[in-house]
Amino acid sequence: MKNLWVRTVSGAVLAVVMLGAIAWSQWSFGLLLAALLVVGMTEFYSLAEEQGSNPQRIVGLAAGLVLFALNFAFVSDDIQILGSARQAFACGMALLLLLLPAMFICELYRRRENPAANIGITFMGVVYVALPFSLMCYIPIIGSEAWSPWMMIFYVFIIWANDVFAYLVGMSVGRHRLCERLSPKKSWEGFFGGIAGAVAMGLVAARVMDGSCWVWAGLALVAAATGVLGDLVESMFKRAAGVKDSGTLIPGHGGVLDRFDAMLLSAPFVFVYMLFVM
């Protein structure tokens, strides 16, 4: 009961912080994503170290933050306050292009075993964590003429609806294991229950946003299906590292990767879907 209470309170606080940051302004949304990116990449590199790898934390974090800054600058309405947007973007792109080969140069002087694996895991942290959070910068502007927090808010609601309905249906009637090797508690019944809940939330979003029910239902289907796979991918990493949670930042829930694993894998698919359909 104590753990349930802690989990409930911390989950409520997380929800308030997330939704508040998304709704407050484009800059608060960007700061939220940047903070999640830093913590998420740190947790990912810690998982890699538990498996014997030696990622280049500083270079990887720098590359991830530069990648995020470039994408945020590209979509920001107020980026002119930072000076010449074209020059700033060019400098950022140059820095990112230099940071990637810098991983190879740094490995020359680290004298660690398996240099190729160390470089690969450093780059993987950028792709697995920094890239999805960077793509989330575009979700509030796709399909609209101006930045709107509601697109992102409903994307979050769809992911949450998928989690809640998958848990409720899986606990009630779940019999057939979805992927017992990585997540023994997940069931096919829960998977389809989560899909149904996500699609229902998508239809609510269509009604509120005055959009197409078919388009929003398709978005919910894409987000939910890939979100479940994102959960399994993170479970794969944790199982290989021999840990239960990726971190301890969120009491009762674990770390950033534990809470945002679904969004990390679904964000690229949702971005592509929204780009071509919405």
Count the domains in the chain: 1
Return the higher-pLDDT residue of 164 and 87: 164
Supply the pLDDT for residue 86.
61
CA–CA separation, 266 vs 187, rounded Å? 19
R_g of the chain computed on alpha carbons: 19
Task: For residues 190-201, give the mean pLDDT.
Answer: 94
The model's confidence at residue 81, banded by pLDDT at 50, 70 and 90, is very low
User: CA–CA separation, 227 vs 201, rounded Å?
Assistant: 15
Displacement of CA 273 from its chain's centroid (Å): 16
Q: How many residues does the chain have?
A: 278
Taking only the tens place, the pLDDT of each residue in 203-229 is 999 999 888 999 999 999 999 999 999
Position 64 scores a pLDDT of 94
Domain residue limits at 130: 1-277
CA distance 269 to 37: 18
Bigger pLDDT: 1 vs 276 = 276
Interval 119-139: pLDDT, tens: 999 999 999 999 999 999 999
The span from the first CA to the last CA of the chain, in angstroms, equals 44
The per-residue pLDDT for 129 is 96
The widest CA-to-CA distance across the chain, in whole angstroms, is 59
Question: What mean pLDDT is reported for the chain?
Answer: 88
Q: Which two tokens stand for residue 265?
A: 């894998």
Mean pLDDT of the 89-96 span: 74
**CA within 13 Å, CB half, 10:** 16
d(CA 3, CA 62): 36
